[in-house]
Amino acid sequence: MSIAAIVSLVLIFLLVAALAFYLIWVVVILHRAVDTLGKVTFGVRAIAHRTEPLGELLGDVNSNLTAVAGALEQLVADVSEPAAKAS
C-alpha cells in the first residue's frame, strides 16, 4: 500500500470520527432540549390545573359580596335615619 493510500484512509477515518462526534453531540443537545421542554410542559399543565376552578369560585365570591354590599347599604340607611330625624 502506498503512503498516499494510507494518508487518505487516515483522513477518511478522522472525517468519519469527527462527523460521528458531531452527531452524538447533537443527540445529547436534543435530549437536553426534550427534557427541558417536558419540564416546561409539566409546569404549564400544573398552572392550568391550579387556575381552572377560578370561574366557579369567583361566581360564589361575587354573590357573597353582593349580599355584603346590600347589608352595608342597609346599615348606612339605618344609621342615617336617626341622624336625619335628630336634625
Lowest mean pLDDT among 13-27, 35-49, 69-83: 69-83
Cut 0.75: pTM above it: no
What grid cell was written down for 2? 502506498
Residue 45, domain extent: 3-80
The verdict on residue 85 lying in a domain is no
The verdict on residue 63 lying in a domain is yes
Question: pLDDT tens digits for 21-61?
Answer: 999 999 999 999 999 999 999 999 999 888 777 777 788 88
Domain count, the chain: 1
* Residue carrying C-alpha cell 376552578: 53
Handedness of CA 29, 34, 35, 41 (dihedral sign): positive
The verdict on residue 86 lying in a domain is no
* Residue carrying C-alpha cell 399543565: 45
